[in-house]
């Protein structure tokens, strides 16, 4: 019987070792996924900040963005950097705390598995060899360790329930998102006011860049200026089409007119209006823009295109969509493995507790048997 109960305890130790290792890896995998989602969101915010800052440097023939737009960009960048820093700080802080807990739990479980296995095997050996005084020592220490194991079992039952409740809360949050819940400490949302302001400001910046480009086209490139004008560089030939305004006066999407070129193909179209220049910088072939001006126009187009296509991802931050997607993925792909490995840990702790407890009963029997009686 003692061999059987020792085998039960040893099986529990093996099961506990495997379960805690799998649980620890899966928990860190889940945590890293959350951190990566946070980093992705922060990168979106920083990308928009960089594009807005770059917009301040856009100029065509010394025509820059209006000063009020530049001031608004500076203010908006402060809000975006604050939002990114807050998200990074909260996520990193929570990640460090969670990792510390997981590492402590892993160390405790490894220690319990190793000590209980050694205790069970040595107790079996002492019982077979009949070292009664040594068995008394193992009995006292065994009761203490069994008590610790039962406590750990209870802790992991609570942890299992906590993870199940958290996964359930995530599912409910995905279906009915709340502005502020306990889950906000896991992965906080980005302030909707900041995202709304960013989207609006980006559209205004794009419109201002198009203003700069079209001002140059209408007032310089498409005008046959006299040689006395300092804006003259011998431009000639068919007039070049203006750049399309992607938004109307209400900053709503609009269709480009037949006479306009879109940002997607403007550089290809305008390349046909580029002249060759002499050493003095004047056009010596037919064309409306010099290669240098063409480069400036392309830079403005690229900046507008970047803002138009890379700012909309902020919409997924506006209503906490990125948090919703993260939680939905966690509940679908991570919760069930975590719960399964926790059950394995609980099963291991249960087998250890019961196995060693029954071993203790037999150790007491062997410790109190008459000296001359043989062990069967």
Contact 189, 320 (CB under 8 A): yes
Q: How much is the average pLDDT of 109-134?
A: 76
- CA Rg, the chain, in Å? 36
Q: How far is it, in rounded angstroms, from Cα 241 to Cα 219?
A: 13
Which stretch, 249-258, 312-321, 363-372, has highest mean pLDDT?
249-258
Query: Residue 255, Cβ neighbours under 10 Å: how many?
Result: 10
**pLDDT band, very low/low/confident/very high, at 44 (cuts 50, 70, 90):** confident
Helix (H) or strand (E) holding 301: helix 291-310
Give me the residue label for tokens 């900040």.
Answer: 49
The token pair at 63 is 């025509």
Q: Express each pLDDT in 209-223 by its tens digit.
A: 999 999 999 999 999
Q: How far is it, in rounded angstroms, from Cα 348 to Cα 14?
A: 7
> Of 299, 300, 295, which Cα lies nearest the Cα of 205?
300
Which stretch, 95-99, 135-139, 270-274, has highest mean pLDDT?
270-274
Distances (CA, A) of 250 to 68, 194, 247: 18, 19, 7
**pLDDT band, very low/low/confident/very high, at 316 (cuts 50, 70, 90):** low
Helix (H) or strand (E) holding 199: helix 192-216
The token pair at 375 is 């062990």
Lowest mean pLDDT among 90-94, 126-130, 239-243: 126-130
Q: Please say if the pLDDT value at position 289 is more than 90.
A: yes
Domain ranges of the chain: 2-56+97-188+334-368, 192-318
Q: Please say if the pLDDT value at position 66 is more than 80.
A: yes
Q: Please say if the pLDDT value at position 374 is more than 50.
A: no
Tell me if residue 247 falls in helix, strand or coil.
strand
């Amino acid at each position: 019987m003692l061999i059987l109960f020792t085998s039960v305890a040893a099986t529990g130790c093996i099961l506990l070792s495997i379960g805690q290792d799998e649980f620890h890896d899966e928990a860190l995998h889940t945590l890293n996924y959350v951190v990566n989602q946070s980093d992705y969101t922060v990168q979106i915010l920083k990308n928009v900040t960089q594009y807005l800052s770059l917009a301040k440097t856009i100029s065509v023939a010394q025509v820059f963005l209006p000063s009020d737009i530049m001031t608004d960009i500076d203010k908006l960048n402060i809000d975006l950097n604050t939002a990114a820093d807050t998200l990074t700080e909260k996520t990193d802080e929570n990640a460090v705390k969670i990792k510390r807990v997981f590492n402590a739990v892993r160390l405790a479980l490894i220690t319990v598995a190793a000590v209980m296995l050694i205790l069970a095997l040595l107790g079996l050996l002492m019982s077979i060899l009949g070292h009664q005084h040594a068995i008394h020592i193992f009995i006292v220490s065994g009761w203490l360790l069994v008590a610790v194991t039962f406590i750990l079992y209870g802790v992991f039952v609570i942890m299992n329930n906590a993870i199940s409740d958290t996964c359930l809360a995530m599912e409910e949050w995905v279906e009915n998102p709340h502005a502020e819940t306990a889950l906000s400490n896991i992965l906080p949302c980005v302030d909707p006011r900041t995202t709304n302001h960013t989207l609006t400001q980006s559209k205004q910046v794009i419109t201002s860049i198009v203003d700069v480009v079209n001002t140059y086209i209408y007032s310089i490139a498409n005008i046959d200026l006299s040689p006395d004008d300092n804006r003259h560089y011998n431009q000639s030939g068919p007039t070049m089409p203006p750049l399309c305004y992607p938004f109307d006066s209400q900053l709503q999407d609009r269709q480009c007119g037949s006479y306009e070129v879109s940002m997607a193909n403007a550089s290809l179209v305008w390349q046909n209006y580029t002249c060759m220049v002499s050493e003095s910088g004047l056009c010596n072939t037919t064309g409306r823009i010099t290669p240098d001006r063409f480069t400036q126009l392309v830079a403005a187009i690229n900046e507008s295109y970047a803002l138009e296509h890379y700012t909309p991802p902020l919409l997924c931050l506006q209503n906490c969509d990125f948090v919703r997607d993260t939680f939905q993925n966690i509940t679908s792909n991570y919760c069930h493995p975590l719960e399964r490995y926790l059950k394995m840990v609980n099963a291991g702790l249960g087998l250890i507790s019961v196995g060693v407890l029954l071993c203790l009963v037999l150790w007491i029997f062997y410790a109190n048997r008459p000296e001359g009686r043989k062990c069967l």
